Amino acid sequence: MKPIMELDNVEKTIYNDDATLNILDGINLKIYPQDFIVVLGTNGAGKSTLLDAITGANKVTAGKILLNDKDITTENLAKRAQFISRVYQDPKLGTSPRMTVAENLLLAERRGLPRRLRSRRLKEHMPEFKEFISSMPTLDNRLNTFTEKLSGGQRQTLSFLMAIIQKPELLLLDEHTAALDPQTSADLMAATDRTIKSKKLTCLMVTHNLSEAVAYGNRLIVLKKGKIILDLNTEQKAKLKEEDLLEYF
């Protein structure tokens, strides 16, 4: 099987006045279709820098990034955003507060299309959006609610739906449940997992939550000081227990 994404010896080096920091230090990773890879690591391990390197928010200093065999190492954020989407930790990022849930979904569905094709006829899309949010009970009957009136959990759920509405080649989840209360976080995580499976998405998820890391995904990588120090495949991950991970922290 061909990988969707390949990181080949990726490095991010920062030169300070008196020190050289290897924030990403020779990352080699192949992400295959329908992989759900969990990324764990202590604070400062390089997780956000890795996601920034993949999206193009931060350019790498060495190595190559391939998307479906095409070298995208020098492509900018906007170009890559057609294929790669990201959900952040902060419920305020990713959604427009003064727009309704349905308007936000329309914006996400039309993103990247030429202006003349960005239909303003929201009404026509309502049945489709109703169906689209039906798997997310927390957003039931909320299509006409202004986003600023939603709870943090509802807003994160909307951010997640906006990130997948165009079915990205690669979905990046950047601790997307971390800012929520434990029950809301668990509910969104379970809904995320169901959706990734049913829509056959390919996903890379950063988390600090060890039980989530054990329970979800088919692969697990641990980052430490910019290097991948553990890379478990599906079989190895199936045998994994939470306590096995403690030694890496």
Ligand X SMILES: Nc1ncnc2c1ncn2[C@@H]1O[C@H](COP(=O)(O)OP(=O)(O)OP(=O)(O)O)[C@@H](O)[C@H]1O
Nearer to ligand X, 101 or 205 (CB): 205
Nearer to ligand X, 49 or 202 (CB): 49
Nearest to 218 by CA among 231, 229, 208, 207: 231
Nearer to ligand X, 92 or 130 (CB): 92
Nearer to ligand X, 43 or 198 (CB): 43
Q: Which amino acid is at 145?
A: T
Nearer to ligand X, 211 or 234 (CB): 211
The sheet that has 219-224: what strands, in order across it?
84-87, 170-174, 203-206, 36-41, 219-224, 227-232
Q: How far is the CB of 58 from ligand X (least distance, A)?
A: 8
Q: How far is the CB of 13 from ligand X (least distance, A)?
A: 10
Q: How far is the CB of 43 from ligand X (least distance, A)?
A: 4
Q: How far is the CB of 42 from ligand X (least distance, A)?
A: 7
> How far from each other are the two terminal CA atoms of the chain, in whole angstroms?
33
Distance CA 76, CA 98 (A): 28
Could you give the C-alpha distances from 20 to 8, 24, 47, 64, in angstroms and in order?
A: 21, 12, 19, 21
Distance CA 207, CA 176 (A): 8
Q: How far is the CB of 39 from ligand X (least distance, A)?
A: 9
Residue 87 binds to ligand X (criterion: CB under 6 A): no
CB 213 within 8 A of CB 223: no
Backbone angle region of 119, left / alpha / beta, with phi > 0 → left and psi within -120 to 50 → alpha: beta
Q: How far is the CB of 69 from ligand X (least distance, A)?
A: 27
> Binders of ligand X among 21-80, rule CB under 6 A?
21, 23, 41, 43-49
Nearer to ligand X, 21 or 113 (CB): 21
Residue 93 binds to ligand X (criterion: CB under 6 A): no
Interacting residues with ligand X (CB under 6 A): 14, 21, 23, 41, 43-49
